[in-house]
Structure 1
């Protein structure tokens, strides 16, 4: 494929915008679609440098009408995070340019540096990766930004929960009652707000899976200020759906083992974990699709629904 044909995979105005943010003498030599994201088109751009070498950038563009509507807020949050994270020890992309309102591009877009590593969604090696995820999340919560991001938002209400077909009706009714109650008190912290294995990059030595290490955390568009329990709950739900309910139930313990501090009362911890779990009931299809595209073809919507039911039931049995 020629450079021209590859460049056509990025829309003309966006391509021109990217070129304006390259160094003098640089040019795009390759464009590759990145898969696995649920909200935006992702492209890896290989840039030919003046000295004959290359470097990589990542272009994110929000094209779906629903996500375009929320893109300005998300890109402004991500810009704020990427501006403040350097020097914190949290491995995040570097900001190159952003067009949150599509003033220059066809769609709201963000251009950032490319990080080494890859997402790992397989079950193999999970016992090594979960403690790494927990330690990374503790480090994120330790960030003290000069400017706080906006307050967190929750993604469900007691009236919008969709109980899966065949689910334990009594457990779900009890879980819904939990989130009808008042929001527990909390001490605000810096949250990623969408921290899960699909937004974490790893390097895993082929011959030594136990030597895995995190090389980056991406997708900071939901960065918020709020309770650490909510970030932990979100990763827990993702682990439960990706790898089985037991892993979701295990993650909070791993977070505490890594030095994280959760809500003191069991009822408060239950509130956040149930609230996040129930939020997934409204978007099971959206969540499952990128996992299947990334190779987890067995994770049909029905399988994910069954795992969500088992996870919510496990929460109510174990903490209720």
Structure 2
């Protein structure tokens, strides 16, 4: 974590925010938001002309990520603008500081949309259908002219046999498959990190999709696959498969399923020995353990390899 930052917002950042909001706005409260793992999030309470407003500030503090992608703040800012112009339910961008020169760290300031993350829904089927419909809607947006292009996080050629797994040789087979040439796929606008913890709900409807820092032009299957691997870890293979079926219903003929993108999305999540994603715990998800997550990933891998046998 950057020096001087923790659960309190520094004076430099507050001054920058005040400049963006204008003299008629008064910042009356600041509190850290839970769930963020790759950046710091703060909720800002603001009074302006007798009206109470809420904003969210994201600060990018991870040095290794910024070294790889120094334009993270600009990337999210442009993604939010692009998504809002396309009519998707996203926070409204107020300002961003690409380098952190004025705010202390690279920063994005946006509106706070009402709603909350739901990881234990009362109506699983409607909840899952809502997720699928929202993602299919995103993929209807053409991405010509959007400057960010999809790239995979892991190089399958360099991945080593996962010692944590009970089916290590099957993982090696998956690495070989992913390392081969990719199938052709039509590009569209993709969120790149679409999963239940990045979707807000209010009154049983989706109120916003958040965390757009990875949005880009790419295959729809990458978004579908990323959500599926998250669902597989959270709830098991059957829910991941139900999501795919729901997405296919909503996407219709615009989407052609290929298990390659599922497998690539799965391998992209590998970074050492798999553990429970801290954001899930922060949003109240219970009953998960590192051992269960690893078991579910093994099961999910085998289900995907079975799909390749059918192709």
Taking the aligned partners of 1:223 and 1:162, their CA distance within structure 2 comes to 30
1:143 to 1:253, Cα distance in 2 relative to 1, 3 A: same
Question: Mean alpha-carbon deviation: is it higher for 150-159 or for 35-44?
Answer: 150-159
Aligned CA-pair RMSD: 2.2
1:105 to 1:118, Cα distance in 2 relative to 1, 3 A: same
1:191 to 1:19, Cα distance in 2 relative to 1, 3 A: same
Q: How is 1:24-63 mapped onto 2 (pairs within 5 angstroms)?
A: 24-50=23-49, 52-63=50-61
- Give the secondary-structure state (helix, strand or coil) at the position aligned to 2:189: strand
Please say if 1:245 is aligned against 2:237.
yes
User: How far apart are 1:65 and its partner, in Å?
Assistant: 2.0
User: How far apart are 1:94 and its partner, in Å?
Assistant: 0.7
Question: Mean alpha-carbon deviation: is it higher for 37-46 or for 274-283?
Answer: 274-283
Report what 2:297 is aligned to.
308
Please say if 1:183 is aligned against 2:175.
no
Report what 1:231 is aligned to.
223
- From 122, 133, 136, the equivalent of 1:135 is 133
- Give the secondary-structure state (helix, strand or coil) at the position aligned to 2:270: helix
- Give the secondary-structure state (helix, strand or coil) at the position aligned to 2:21: coil
Q: How is 1:149-160 mapped onto 2 (pairs within 5 angstroms)?
A: 149-158=147-156, 159-160=158-159
- Give the secondary-structure state (helix, strand or coil) at the position aligned to 2:23: coil
Taking the aligned partners of 1:236 and 1:261, their CA distance within structure 2 comes to 20
1:58 to 1:161, Cα distance in 2 relative to 1, 3 A: farther
- Give the secondary-structure state (helix, strand or coil) at the position aligned to 1:214: strand
Taking the aligned partners of 2:67 and 2:226, their CA distance within structure 1 comes to 23
Taking the aligned partners of 2:141 and 2:255, their CA distance within structure 1 comes to 19
Contact 1:288/1:301 (8 A) holds in 2: no
Q: What stretches of structure 1 of length at least 5 have no aligned partner?
A: 1-7, 205-211
User: How far apart are 1:86 and its partner, in Å?
Assistant: 2.8
Report what 1:194 is aligned to.
193
Report what 2:162 is aligned to.
163
Please say if 1:291 is aligned against 2:280.
yes
Contact 1:98/1:109 (8 A) holds in 2: yes
1:89 to 1:297, Cα distance in 2 relative to 1, 3 A: same
Report what 2:270 is aligned to.
281
Report what 2:118 is aligned to.
120
Contact 2:99/2:106 (8 A) holds in 1: yes
